[in-house]
Amino acid sequence: MARLPVWFLAHGAPIHAIEDTPLRRFWQGLPQRLPEVPRAVLCLSAHWLADRPTLAGGVAEPTIQYDFHGFPEALYRLKWPLPDATAAGLWLKERLQRLLGEVDDEADRPLDHGVWAPLLPAWPQPPFPVLQLTLCPQRDAAWHWRLGQQLRPLRDEGVLIVTSGGLVHNLSLLDRQARWGEAEPWATEFMEVVESAIERRDQDTLCHPWSLPHGQRAVPTNEHYLPLLCALGCSHKSEPFHALFRGWEHGNLALHSYGVSP
């Protein structure tokens, strides 16, 4: 099979799954970025955290969860008809045990919105199983970069790896009156430094976001930031890892997405 990409997707608010926004239109174009249909998708989302790597979704009838509140009723009525993932779950669990040396199983856990919000607009009826692996934020940033490196062989085995989070993600500072695309200077300054480090693949800088300008304001907690490090670790040094989409909402919520993609 062709080597499949690895993507870091900012998922923003779940409302993008149903509203016609630039972010949703970007998601809808994701299938055209693939060289072939994946055998499976493995997603690591900011919204499932555990002490040890844990795999979910490997059941006959996977479901999704509505792990948010205060949004339009239409979001809570969404369904995502996923194919039987039993065989893919068994195969992937075995592969992860070999690659990681440790993996727990919570097969019947519903997929959270960090998985389905970006992927449902791209594939309303996926022809492949979708599974989810936890982040482990009590382990450090460098561990998550290594996690990506350990997952890298899966890309040559038909697995599309998607990580989902947000690089400037401080909900306490959102400006609900800001127009789409507007960004506060501190947020853009942080992102400029991050993008420069991504271009250089500067692992030490990227693994210490609090050392960057406005880092503690941009990354008050690490669960939305760690997926980027997993994606970078999963890419090869010879592959361009570049911006796939840039956008801002609420004045400082970064919707920037990056990855390896044709």
Q: The tokens of 250 are what?
A: 């609420």
Q: What would the pLDDT profile of 54-78 be if each residue is shown by its tens digit?
A: 999 999 999 999 999 999 999 999 9
Q: The tokens of 202 are what?
A: 């500067």
In contact, 232 and 198? CB cutoff 8 Å? yes
Q: Tell me the mean pLDDT in the region 10-17.
A: 96
Q: What would the pLDDT profile of 134-189 be if each residue is shown by its tens digit?
A: 999 999 999 999 999 999 999 999 999 999 999 999 999 999 999 999 999 999 99
**In this predicted structure, what is the pLDDT of residue 22?**
97
Where residue 262 falls among pLDDT bands split at 50, 70, 90?
low
Percent share of the chain, pLDDT over 70: 100
**In this predicted structure, what is the pLDDT of residue 1?**
80
In contact, 79 and 199? CB cutoff 8 Å? no
CATH T-level assignment (fold) for domain 6-183+221-260: Protocatechuate 4,5-dioxygenase; Chain B (3.40.830)
Q: What would the pLDDT profile of 192-216 be if each residue is shown by its tens digit?
A: 999 999 999 999 999 999 999 999 9
d(CA 242, CA 31): 17
Where residue 50 falls among pLDDT bands split at 50, 70, 90?
very high
Mean per-residue pLDDT over the chain, rounded = 97
d(CA 16, CA 116): 11
**In this predicted structure, what is the pLDDT of residue 261?**
75
d(CA 58, CA 60): 7
d(CA 262, CA 247): 21
109 pLDDT above the threshold of 90: yes
Q: The tokens of 212 are what?
A: 């960057």
**In this predicted structure, what is the pLDDT of residue 117?**
98
d(CA 244, CA 102): 32
Q: What's the gap between Cα 252 and its chain centre?
A: 19
